[in-house]
Amino acid sequence: MFANIAIGLVTSLLGGGFVWLWERAKRRRAVNRRAAFFGVRPEETCLVVLGGQHDVPGSPHYRDVRAVVELALLAGELGCQVSVESGDFRGSNGARTEFCVGGPLADVNVRSTGHVAAYLPGVTFHPYDVGRRDSVAIEAGGEKYLFDRGSQEYAMVAKFTPAGSSRPVFLVCGQTSMTNLAAIHFLRREYAAVARRLASTERFCVLIRVSDIATYEHHRAELAKDVSTTAFARA
């Protein structure tokens, strides 16, 4: 009788231990997949390069600050630290994954301007022009993603590894600071669904659409299109 009780106890302990190990391994695999999508590794330090406001150079918009908070939360969930630099940062990201936040227009983030010119020749950011319908539009593959303030706006998100770096750049270029925040907020939650639609998570370029802004602000975002093939292609 006592032997049967002991066997039952050992079996229960072993069964519970296996379940715990399986759940732990499952959580670890999920963290690893998420980390791979964003290009980070646990215990690394990530570099965040933050742009300014178009009318106040060097002063980040409060929504971009909120975007950095989202990135810091993401990094913490993946076991990483964050170091923040301004858009005036120069040099290689080296062994640090770089999150560069802010569009290239009006020198909001001059580092974004350099990244787009060097690695995304198939993407065009149309300048602000109050008299043009394509003002602030993002163009890729001959298609223009128009800016409709407060109704429908876009952000381009790209991931690539610069020459001479061992870690990637994760570039977020929205038409506004609100779309920067929306893109990061969306990808932090929906990265797995987006990853399934990409040919590769090592290098990609996608457009994120943000809709019904007047009602939902940055909370209604979706993947509009994968433009990776066009974005990285040189004419």
Model pLDDT for residues 40-68, shown as the tens digit of each residue:
988 899 999 987 654 444 455 778 889 88
The CA distances from residue 38 to 32, 51, 151, 168, 172, in Å, are 10, 20, 28, 9, 12
Per-residue pLDDT, 130: 82
Residue 108 has phi, psi (to 5 degrees) of -60, -45
Model pTM score = 0.85
Model pLDDT for residues 118-159, shown as the tens digit of each residue:
999 999 999 988 889 999 999 998 999 999 998 999 999 999
**Is beta strand 98-101 parallel, antiparallel or unpaired with respect to 45-50?**
parallel
In a 10 Å sphere around its CB, with 0-12 CB exposed, 13-18 middle and 19+ buried, how is residue 11 labelled?
A: exposed
| CATH for the stretch 39-231 | 3.30.379.10
Model pLDDT for residues 150-201, shown as the tens digit of each residue:
899 999 999 999 999 999 999 999 999 999 999 999 999 999 999 999 999 9
Residues 6+ positions from 104 with CB-CB distance below 8 Å? 110, 112, 113, 116, 125, 173
Q: What type of residue sits at position 47?
A: L
- Distance, in Å, from the CA atom of 112 to the CA atom of 39, rounded to the nearest integer, reads 18
According to DSSP, the residues that pair with 100 across neighbouring strands are 49, 171
Domain ranges of the chain: 1-38, 39-231
- Distance, in Å, from the CA atom of 228 to the CA atom of 165, rounded to the nearest integer, reads 20
The CA distances from residue 71 to 38, 101, 201, in Å, are 10, 10, 18
